[in-house]
Amino acid sequence: MTILETFEMMNYGPAPEDPREAVNWLDEHERRFGLFIGGEWCPSAGKKRFDSINPATGETLASISSAGPKDIDKAVAAARTAQSGWWKLGCHGRARYLYALARQVQKHSRRLAVLDCLDNGKPIREMRDIDVPLVARHFYHHAGWAQILADEFPQHEPLGVAAQVIPWNFPLLMLAWKIAPALATGNTVVLKPAEFTSLTALAFAELCREVGLPPGVVNIVTGDGETGAKLVAHSDVDKVAFTGSTEVGKEIRRATANSSKRLTLELGGKSPFIVFDDADLDSAVEGLVNGIWFNQGEVCCAGSRLLVHEPVADRLMDKVRRRMESLRMGSPLDKAVDVGAIVAPVQLERIRSIVDRAVEEGAHCYQAEVPVPDEGLYYPPTLLTNVGPASHAAQTEIFGPVLTSMTFRTPDEAVALANNTVYGLAASVWSENINVALELAPRLKAGVVWVNSTNQFDAACGFGGYRESGYGREGGREGLEEYLVPSWSRQLPRLPESSGTKSAPVSGAAPGSGPALGIDRTAKLYIGGKQTRPDSGYSIPIAAANGDHLGEVPLGNRKDIRDAVEAARKAQAWEQSDGHSRAQILYFIAENLEQRSDEFSSRLQRMTGGTSKSAAKEVHTSIERIFSAAAWADKYEGAVHNPPGRKLTLALQEPMGVIGIICPDDTPLLAFISLVAHAIAAGNRVVTVPSASYPLIATDFYQILETSDVPAGVVNIVTGRPDELSPVLSAHAGVEALWYFGPISGMAATKAESVSNMKRVWTHEGRAFDWYDPRQGQGRELLKQATQVKNVWVPYGE
Ligand code: NAI
């Protein structure tokens, strides 16, 4: 076509990026890469290799080493050796390296951009204007965090060695999200890029050498899922950070259940893109282009489910179809291209099969009639309508340029549809009425909500999901916390292996052979604000320390747990109540406990066999603890971020939802109160299994709850055997988080069962907590576990 013809058609002519410099770089390495371990390039011990292919041309770009177990051992050992020196380098020392990395990324920005285009198939425009600038920003921002770390996180230490596994959709950006916070906080890293896209990670390794990063601080091991599985399971790894599919996230949770490795999982999504009838429809259409056709839709937080208000549905769909026709699909190296190639044949096949199935199930499929290049892996922008909310296409993460569309009539219906998936990564709300948008934001189960915008990211703003989209945040202050531990936690003594395993027989078999007390209280379960009999019809006799029969508690079972979870879920109004109201109820609980403190002290003393002084101290501290939780109820607040550009991000601390709590035997009243009071102070409802040895102290507490205006269902108490009840709670889809302080023997099973809905599990990790220590038993550490951050992005300023 001549220039004149192009001019007359007003079509974009080709504007190819010259890949020569990146190709030269590959040639300099003879298109053959080893592993980057301890600051050196090394061959893989197993000599296994695979090719990296350009999905737009089918060309083999380079031969990549596949790391085996010996290589992983070597890389983890290098990271371990380097770690103490890296930490001792101090804040300023680490900050300088992070700054140097930021500068080096900028200096080589075009090479890095082209390499990811070649390897992944993503358009150069996006790499140049979005990915690479965000990578540099991430290192700059974290250079800053490294500098001020000691002031901002006093008495904190790095976890140690971090194993990081990343996907192929944003190869360099995901690397930056992983490496920058780990390094800023004094950890060292072994990172495995995805097998389809290893090149920018290898190029980054070279940048590490160029800035003189101490050997072993960053190690890059390439390979497939098998390499990843070996890395995350390595016994000398302290932290696993993973981004990828929910399926693999679940495998990783199971594989690490028997260890104390800290986990952050950034998993899949099926994010709603909600358009109200008063939205600026043209802006919403551009938002959709960014939401679902950015990066070919291979985005974990892609706005892949369009929910449109019925009155404007036809109008919006017309506009969407027209806009789809003007999207330009083609060579990723063409600067005028919007939609590039799909990363690999397997992914293309996956997209095809999901769309084919949707059509078979009755969906209407509209595909843009955009010219498809003759070679390469391409899939046209696609719109599926007439899909049911529960259909496969509307529920499955497609990870391709495919939008499913549904309509809604009312805001309530929009919320119900939006939340109707197992995921909870992101959501986008479009309305010119700020009231509408901000009324919806808190009701959406999503870690990120974009108002009148979509796919916004920044190093200062935490990113991560609710529900099966994973847990933990990357970016911002909360992202750093995922790589730090409070120093006191390192000094905690180990619990004896047998701790908390004392399991009483069911009633009749009687421990406590001593005389029964005069008045035997018949404790019941406490569910939905009522004292109820257990489903099992059994009770457990509870003996005093001296062997006397103290009373009996019900033997709760699976059905009782289900009832308790149901009651907790019904008490959702607690979540919406404000901190001020919750504080008042907590103060009232403290007041009522105070009135009965003598009774609780003597009961406690008889149960545990301690002195009257120690029992009185435990009751007194428990009252103080409730005061502390009440004090925090309206003070554990979020933050407002100012990311670059015309926006504000409100980082809100939201309750987890329903928390299952398995209480320890140690200081049974104080531990129970510390855990429950903080959980409910943050707006959660709880299902608690009290200490197995001293459950009567919790059943006595019912009366306090009943007289303190605690709404029914906010606190539910199911007595029984923690090792039986904990896996039930952990597997329950209606429980959002689990705090496990029971016997060590039940810890791994509890973690493994949590994959049911990817609930966050917090445990003692085999350490003896001192519940008297305010650093361990109250305040921010507990509230952090009781909340998850939701980032709401709102347009702001001119
Ligand atoms: P994946 O989850 O298998 O791969 C992500 C990373 O994990 C890669 O580096 C891979 O080598 C590694 N990996 C695989 N199995 C592992 C294991 N058992 N232990 C440790 N590491 C392991 O994703 P995949 O197969 O590339 O894509 C499949 C689907 O997953 C996509 O169609 C998409 O729906 C979803 N996905 C979601 C991502 C997200 O960010 N939410 C990213 C990539 C894929």
Catalytic residue among 266, 298, 478, 481: 266
DSSP bridge partners of 486: 156
Helix (H) or strand (E) holding 240: strand 239-243
**Ligand 1 atom 18 nearest Cα:** 229
**Ligand 1 atom 6 nearest Cα:** 167
Angle, helices 109-120 vs 132-152, to 10°: value is 120
Give the pairing type, strands 382-385 and 402-408. parallel
Whether residue 200 contacts residue 115, with contact meaning beta carbons closer than 8 Å, is answered with: yes
- Closest atom, ligand 1, to C-alpha of 168: 43
What is the spatial distance between Cα 445 and Cα 475, in angstroms, rounded to a whole number?
Answer: 20
* Per-residue model confidence (pLDDT) at position 3: 75
Residue with tokens 């969407």: 320
Which residue stretches of 546-596 are H helix? 558-570, 573-576, 579-595
Whether residue 334 contacts residue 15, with contact meaning beta carbons closer than 8 Å, is answered with: yes
* Per-residue model confidence (pLDDT) at position 516: 46
Tell which one of 65, 232, 245 to mutate to probe ligand 1, the residue whose CB is within 8 A of the most ligand atoms. Answer: 245
What is the spatial distance between Cα 448 and Cα 458, in angstroms, rounded to a whole number?
Answer: 12
What is the spatial distance between Cα 113 and Cα 105, in angstroms, rounded to a whole number?
Answer: 10
What is the spatial distance between Cα 143 and Cα 103, in angstroms, rounded to a whole number?
Answer: 11
- Closest atom, ligand 1, to C-alpha of 252: 19
Q: Computed from CA positions of residues 703, 705, 710, 713, in that sequence, does the dihedral angle turn out positive or negative?
A: negative
Q: Reply yes or no on whether 724 is catalytic.
A: no
**Ligand 1 atom 10 nearest Cα:** 225
**Which DSSP category does 369 fall into?**
-
- Closest atom, ligand 1, to C-alpha of 350: 32
Residues composing the chain: 798
Mean pLDDT for each 10-residue chunk of the chain (798 residues)?
A: 73 87 98 98 95 98 98 98 98 98 98 98 98 98 98 98 98 98 98 98 98 98 98 98 98 97 98 98 98 98 98 98 96 97 98 98 96 94 97 98 98 98 98 97 98 97 97 97 97 84 47 48 90 94 89 95 98 97 98 97 94 97 98 97 94 98 96 98 98 92 94 98 94 97 94 97 96 96 97 92
| Other beta carbons within 10 Å of 38 | 18
228 Cα: distance to centroid of ligand 1 (angstroms): 10
Tell which one of 248, 263, 352, 467 to mutate to probe ligand 1, the residue whose CB is within 8 A of the most ligand atoms. Answer: 248
From residue 518, give the alpha-carbon distance in Å to each of 104, 696, 703: 78, 16, 20
Give the pairing type, strands 35-37 and 40-42. antiparallel
194 Cα: distance to centroid of ligand 1 (angstroms): 8
User: Torsion-angle region of residue 121: left (phi > 0), alpha (psi -120 to 50) or beta?
Assistant: left
**Ligand 1 atom 42 nearest Cα:** 244
**Which DSSP category does 474 fall into?**
B
- Closest atom, ligand 1, to C-alpha of 268: 41
Helix (H) or strand (E) holding 262: strand 262-266
769 Cα: distance to centroid of ligand 1 (angstroms): 36
Give the pairing type, strands 525-527 and 530-532. antiparallel
From residue 197, give the alpha-carbon distance in Å to each of 17, 369, 370, 382, 441: 20, 29, 27, 25, 35
**Ligand 1 atom 35 nearest Cα:** 245
590 Cα: distance to centroid of ligand 1 (angstroms): 49
What tokens were used for 634? 């309206």
| Other beta carbons within 10 Å of 266 | 28
Whether residue 222 contacts residue 67, with contact meaning beta carbons closer than 8 Å, is answered with: yes
**Ligand 1 atom 43 nearest Cα:** 244
220 Cα: distance to centroid of ligand 1 (angstroms): 17
Residues with CB under 6 A from ligand 1: 165-169, 192, 194-195, 224-225, 228-229, 232, 243-245, 248, 251-252, 267-268, 300, 347, 350, 397, 399
* Per-residue model confidence (pLDDT) at position 1: 66
What is the spatial distance between Cα 64 and Cα 550, in angstroms, rounded to a whole number?
Answer: 68
Whether residue 310 contacts residue 407, with contact meaning beta carbons closer than 8 Å, is answered with: yes
DSSP bridge partners of 794: 648
Mean pLDDT for the chain? Answer: 95
Neighbour-count burial for 512-540, b at 16+ CB within 10 Å, e otherwise: beeeeeeeeeebbbbbbbebbebbeebbb
Whether residue 460 contacts residue 474, with contact meaning beta carbons closer than 8 Å, is answered with: no
ipTM, two decimals = 0.97
**Which DSSP category does 289 fall into?**
I
φ and ψ at 430, to 5 degrees? -120, 115
What is the spatial distance between Cα 408 and Cα 417, in angstroms, rounded to a whole number?
Answer: 8
pTM for the model: 0.96
661 Cα: distance to centroid of ligand 1 (angstroms): 32
Helix (H) or strand (E) holding 104: helix 90-107
* Per-residue model confidence (pLDDT) at position 500: 64
Tell which one of 165, 246, 247 to mutate to probe ligand 1, the residue whose CB is within 8 A of the most ligand atoms. Answer: 165
Residue closest to 742 by CA, chosen among 660, 682, 657: 660
The arrangement of strands across the sheet holding 685-689 comes to 530-532, 525-527, 715-717, 685-689, 658-662, 737-740, 760-763
What tokens were used for 585? 């109820």
* Number of H-type helices and E-type strands within the chain: 30, 32
Give the pairing type, strands 218-220 and 188-192. parallel
DSSP bridge partners of 450: 428, 793
- Closest atom, ligand 1, to C-alpha of 398: 34
CA angle (497, 500, 505) in 5-degree steps: 125
- Closest atom, ligand 1, to C-alpha of 193: 9
Neighbour-count burial for 467-497, b at 16+ CB within 10 Å, e otherwise: bbbbbbbbbbbbbbbbbbbbeebeebeebee
What is the spatial distance between Cα 403 and Cα 316, in angstroms, rounded to a whole number?
Answer: 13
672 Cα: distance to centroid of ligand 1 (angstroms): 39
The arrangement of strands across the sheet holding 382-385 comes to 364-367, 382-385, 402-408, 305-309, 272-275, 426-430, 448-451, 787-795, 647-655, 639-641
DSSP 421-460: SS--SEEEEE-S-HHHHHHHGGGS--SEEEES--S---TT
201 Cα: distance to centroid of ligand 1 (angstroms): 16
